[in-house]
Amino acid sequence: MSRVPAHTASACPERPLGPGDFGVERFTVPAVLDRRAEQFPNRVMISIAGIDVTFEQMRRRSRAAADALLQLGIGPGDCVALFTATCPEWIYFWLGAARIGAVTAAVNAANKGEFLLHALRLSQAKAIITDTGRRSRVAEVADRDPDLKCIVAQDPSHSAVLHDDAAHTAGEHLGEVGDTGALFFTSGTTGASKAVATTWHYLFTTAATSASAWEFGAGEVLWTAMPLFHLSAAPSILAPMLVGGTTVLAPAFHPGAVWDEVRAWGAV
């Protein structure tokens, strides 16, 4: 089977790849994800920390996450911080926020104290999605951040809402191509971390370029252990989404397990 996507004539295209090259109208989460869910509803879009999620399940759960954010008072332009370990919920809320025009801030999962507070203040996050292992870190700094209005810690009730098969109303927010969609942070090696503002058009364009360079096609599998808060993790999720492939995302990098996982999935 050829690894070259049907829409890509060359791994080094003479012009930037655009939405039309992938059979979608726009480089937005609803335009791309919903189209792939129609085409490949039962294909695994991502296996994350051992949990398989199909394209259709991702469509439904990202919509459920979008509805949950709306109920928290989050709207277009508002920021939601994502502060969890590698897990499906991170992806659900990342994509769900995009559906309503909200901005996500990908906070380093190891942050605590002043480092965490700096990221929250800089992003002006109104809400934060966290897990039980990091809930206490958030509580330690929350009172010092006047913008932070809501802390959502993962628990079984939230999982039930996201996995509910009921219809969810969140659709596509028709914003501008230059609207900020996600914030990623620099490492902070020489000073306080800076927030890098990215648009969804940029993220999908980067993913399109990566898919072309990798000669990555529909039905193929990409394995990675890149933490989700890294900007370079975005193409690992979005490139397979663009072409109808699968991402296998390990919760951490364990050298002894890498090749067993790659062989088990047939990753290319």
Q: Model pTM?
A: 0.91
Three-state secondary-structure class, residue 87: coil
Q: Is residue 128 part of a domain?
A: yes
DSSP state of 119: H
What percent of the chain clears pLDDT 70, i.e. is strictly above it?
Answer: 90
Q: Is residue 13 part of a domain?
A: no
Q: How far apart are the C-alpha atoms of 256 and 29, rounded to whole Å?
A: 35
pLDDT given at position 64 = 94
Q: How far apart are the C-alpha atoms of 38 and 3, rounded to whole Å?
A: 22
What total number of domains does the chain contain? 1
Alpha helices in the chain (DSSP H): 29-39, 55-71, 88-99, 113-123, 135-142, 156-162, 200-214, 234-243, 255-265
Q: How far apart are the C-alpha atoms of 222 and 77, rounded to whole Å?
A: 32
- What residues are paired with 222 via a beta bridge? 247
pLDDT (tens, 9 = 90+) of the chain, 268 residues, equals: 333 344 443 455 567 899 999 999 999 999 999 999 999 999 999 999 889 999 999 999 999 999 999 999 999 999 999 999 999 999 999 999 999 999 999 999 999 999 999 999 999 999 999 999 999 999 999 999 999 999 999 887 667 678 776 656 655 677 788 899 999 999 888 888 999 999 999 999 999 999 999 999 999 999 999 999 999 999 999 999 999 999 999 988 888 888 988 998 999 8
Contact predicate 168/154, CB 8 Å: no
Alpha helices in 72-197 (DSSP H): 88-99, 113-123, 135-142, 156-162
Q: Is residue 10 part of a domain?
A: no
Q: Is residue 6 part of a domain?
A: no
pLDDT given at position 190 = 85
Q: Is residue 60 part of a domain?
A: yes
Q: Is residue 54 part of a domain?
A: yes
Q: Is residue 14 part of a domain?
A: no
pLDDT tens for 126-182 read: 999 999 999 999 999 999 999 999 999 988 766 767 877 665 665 567 778 889 999
* Residue 245, domain CATH: 3.40.50.12780
Q: Is residue 152 part of a domain?
A: yes
Q: What is the domain range of residue 54?
A: 23-265
Q: How far apart are the C-alpha atoms of 125 and 13, rounded to whole Å?
A: 38
